[in-house]
Amino acid sequence: MVELHGAHGYLITEFFSRHANKRTDAYGGSLYKRMKFGLEVIEAVRNQVGKDYPLGIRISGTDYDEKGITLDESIAFAKELANELQERGYEVYVAGDCVEIGTIYEAIHAGHLTGRQI
């Protein structure tokens, strides 16, 4: 299995976090633009390893900063990632950080991430 580390200040998180990402191009600003880099990375890796190879991504649940990643944004990112890749016929595995895993787990059971693996 390949698991990409997109949490805890690693590069994917730097693009995703409003706190770190001050870009004004196609990779900064709106939530979708900030998700773009992570979506492109996991799709590029998926294309290299193939459809049947296990691939996952670890994301942060929150930055614990009002200007950073919120839990709602992380849920939106996980849903968008899962939807984009499942549309292409890929299975997806998304893991939240250990601090927020309970909250993300609760979000799944509330129907926000139905059918996703955490």
Cβ-contact 45, 55 below 8 angstroms: yes
Structure-block tokens of residue 114? 């139905």
- Rounded distance, CA 38 to CA 15, Å? 8
- Rounded distance, CA 112 to CA 6, Å? 20
10 as an active site residue: the answer is yes
Structure-block tokens of residue 101? 């895993």
Active site residue: 10, 32, 64, 105, which one?
10
The catalytic residues are 10
